[in-house]
Structure 1
Amino acid sequence: MEAAEKANVSTPLIKRLDLSKGDKFDTMLQGVLDVANLPDPIGKVTFANKLDEGLDLYRVTCPIGVLLVIFESRPEVIANITALAIKSANAVILKGGKESFHSFAAISRLVGEALSGTEIPPGAVQLIESRQEVSDLLKQDRYIDLVIPRGSNELVRSIKSNTKIPVLGHADGLCSVYVHGDADVDMAVRIVIDSKTNYAAACNAAEGLLVQRCALKSHLPSLAKALIDAGVSLKVTPEIGEALKEAGVAGTGSATIMSAEEKDFETEFLSFTIAVAAVEEVDEAIKHINAHSSKHTDSIVTASKEIADKFLNGVDSSGVFWNASTRFSDGFRYGFGTEVGISTSKIHARGPVGLEGLTCYQYQLRGSGQVAADYVGAGGKKEFKHEQLDM
């Protein structure tokens, strides 16, 4: 922490580095214990089919293989990912950011000491320090099965453009909350405040607020006042600015009200700043979010199940919530123990990636001498039974 402050590291990164704030350290430890207590994810049969007498097909979960995980700043990631890798029977190579070098080195020593007294094969968990090592490893598509970059969009794009290895991206969290006109005002205020201020430097913190146009007089003043009282600056469209002016809502101290630019709705502030706009109805909110979000997590506050369902089914994000804070988007809170990251892609794993996201599967066929040539489709006359088996 001292080195980071001397190097003038940005405030959001400082917050991510600090394990002493709140319950971050205890949560990290509890996450490791929770992973240990989860059921073994390997060797589970997820599909079973009798092709014929004495010819049974099973789909069985298995490890992905060797993971290369590259992350920025957060030192607790080492403990989280090590626990997940061991539990899912994967080998893992870890590379932390330069900002967390000292914490990274200390936790690395502890990981090595802990594993040395176990049956885990030597080298199953490896920790590297230099960028050159990362560059070399990204070329090893024969030996590394999956790369997981956990950090900025810039990091994810750089990794994807420099490797042939499949990449599971954990990028920006451009999360939004949409407040519909029928929402309970107090509920909306609680959800928006928590989404923005509970931990503003997190990827699941809200960076955008959308308010239905018919609620600019009934809801917006309370939302804006609560945000300003919490120290949040607002970047607002002209329409929102005019509505706040009419309601007599003004910025105070460091919590200012500024004009928003288009880019503000595609900016991950990671601080006490939020972009605010008005929309006509839920369809426009969906369109706005799908056009500007990073497909991380978005929430609607409404009393209507019909409106909520339209939002939940229309927003193309890995997490879509109804009457709940975006901060719930987290592997620990989902009951995954912890997470290796939150995937904003759609292939293999999406949302918080826990044990299940670190496994794949293989098809195991158990026969008794059969050959394909005896069956229909390969020249023979025998028909397949294709009967579901108990798993």
Structure 2
Amino acid sequence: MTMLRLLSDDGVLSDATLNDTGTYTRPIAPLRSRVAFAAAHVVPKVHADNTPGQPADIDWDATLAFRRNVYSWGLGVADAMDTAQRNMGLDAAATRELIARSAEVAREEGGSVVVGVNTDHVAESHISLGAVIDAYKEQLHFTEEQGAGPVLMASRHLARVATDAADYRRVYREVLQSATVPVVLHWLGTAFDPELRGYFGAEDWQSASAVLLDIIEENPGKIAGVKMSLLNAESEISVRSRLPERVRMFTGDDFNYVDLIGGDTVGRGSSHSDALLGAFAAITPVASAAIQALDAGDPEAYLRILGPTEELSRQVFAAPTFYYKTGVAFLSWLNGHQPAFQMIAGLHSARSLPHLSRIVELANASLALEDPELAHTRWHAMLRLNGVDA
């Protein structure tokens, strides 16, 4: 029996039995019951200057291999979004290259890819509404040229300059009018980015959601879906119930995704959400197996497989939530998808050793360790490197 050494917040050591991996198999046909995207991270070169303020120097082999693995499990990839460290180390040049390379891999693998469209290539912190529109259009058109689906992300520039809901309606109307394919709108909450406070012209989600729904209604045929990342199931269910036909709700709620995705299939609410989640990059085989269970008409198996992962996700996305990328990269390393626990901008240092220990414990409990022996070896080596008896 192999034991995992764990470290608590007060420095106390304990042990847990290392579980076998889940008996999950890759699907032999496309997933049917839900549309699911894993929001993927980026892997830097180990020898790069991965310190704050330096340009991203990406290990393209490892980064793109991670995406190929996601496709092999039947999920789509959401790329160049906040999980890929947009506004937290991924510079404009690296973003463009990531979008182009990821779109090429999607074509090669026959996978579905959507990518983030933002205004963050503009260096100035404060620009006019017209400049926000132009910046959005520039990234939108580049994304369309690459053949990727656009996700219109919340813009810090827009949050700074907009004075009321009318400004949001104007910007989204003009950008959407120029889109040649339907886009996904992304509502990113302040837990993920405090600079987006008051987005859509209001502090409370009820008023802001009314503006969002107005934007959707005013731009028929231009919007494929909405990704909500407020970590508030009530707000998502409320908006979901009012969406027009053919506009999907993609949950970005890494705290409550089990019930939101399950929906009426598992008796947990009306309708259901599809998925566009950073959490699914951390638990790709488990997420695939759960959706395969729904495809097979087995909601009990869906809950049994996916339910235990929610506590793991809540740990990965614990406050300060915007550092969740560290947990995603850490699990990628434990599971053998990258050679080192390194992140651009030095973000691998953003979580404590006890926090990471709890991730190990919960990943083991929820059968999210893809190669338990490898994870054990890597985690124990990390403990010893930090002076902990393992």
Normalising by structure 2, what TM-score? 0.31
Considering only CA atoms, is the larger Rg found in Structure 1 or Structure 2?
A: 1
In proportion to residue count, which structure has more strand?
1
